[in-house]
Amino acid sequence: MKYVENVRAVLRFSWSVRLMVLAAILSGLSAFFDLVDARMLGLHPLVFAGIASLVSALGVFARVIRQVAVSGVVRRFCSDESGAMRVRKRTLAASVVAVAIASASFVGQWEGLRTQAYQDVIGVWTVCYGETKGVSRGDSYTKAQCDAMLDEELRSYAVGLGKCLKAPLPEGAAVAFLSWSYNVGTGAACRSTAVRKANAGDLFGACDELLRWNRAGGRVINGLVNRRKSEHSLCTGSLIAAGLSRPVGK
């Protein structure tokens, strides 16, 4: 006789062993009720004998199927977001790091990476992914430094925006609002109609407001028009994926 290689795992986690143990317990109870009056509980010993037989039969079936830990199934089910109704919602204040990480690639593609300082469309010295604070002519950074700078700034912006934007949002909407805030500034974002509508529960209306922020220096900028369309699409798309629908007439 030779034990299977994973004997401990089989004894601890396999359904067949669990069912066999349960069958033994039920069989013992049946014998016990033969010695005393099972009817004191309103049950008949034959009922326990039948259950024990059924559990024993299931034990044989469970022995030949692939063993799956219940905890693993539950964990995978809870983390699975393939179904629209299980899209997580989060506030920016409650998940600064997660939203910042999720936003990095989206923001980066719109800001563009420039490791040498340059002047933007309205003449402000800028570097890396749209960073303007403390930037001067001749400044230069590596990509790694720019990536770290973007991560730090997005976390900071998420904290700032989270102080005024309290509505729970699907991740896509949170990314869209953070991208917009990073572009226009926390102060302007927090004073905006977009944030007011979001906090009032009009999330689709809040997403629509993003489209209005397409100007720089008093004129419409094609790059901002395209960016706002992308943010708007991400925002509304995540709401729909979360099972929300636009109010009739809006």
Residue 58: count of CB within 10 angstroms of its CB: 17
- CATH number 1.20.1560.10 given to 84-110+144-241: no
CA distance 77 to 79: 6
* Contact (Cβ atoms closer than 8 angstroms) between residue 159 and residue 142: no
Residue-wise pLDDT tens digits, 6-20: 445 445 555 666 667
Q: What percent of the chain has pLDDT over 70?
A: 65
pLDDT band at 53 (very low <50, low <70, confident <90, very high): confident
| pLDDT value at residue 34 | 58
| pLDDT value at residue 45 | 63
Catalytic-labelled residue, pool 80, 81, 120, 152: 120
- Examine the residue annotation and report whether 231 is marked as an active-site residue of this protein: no
Catalytic-labelled residue, pool 111, 171, 202, 209: 111
- Examine the residue annotation and report whether 5 is marked as an active-site residue of this protein: no
Please indicate whether residue 186 or residue 248 has the higher confidence score (pLDDT): 186
| pLDDT value at residue 85 | 36
Q: How far apart are the first and last CA of the chain?
A: 74
Q: Where are the domains of the chain?
A: 7-77, 84-110+144-241
Say if residue 60's pLDDT is above 50: yes
* Contact (Cβ atoms closer than 8 angstroms) between residue 225 and residue 67: no
pTM of this structure: 0.63
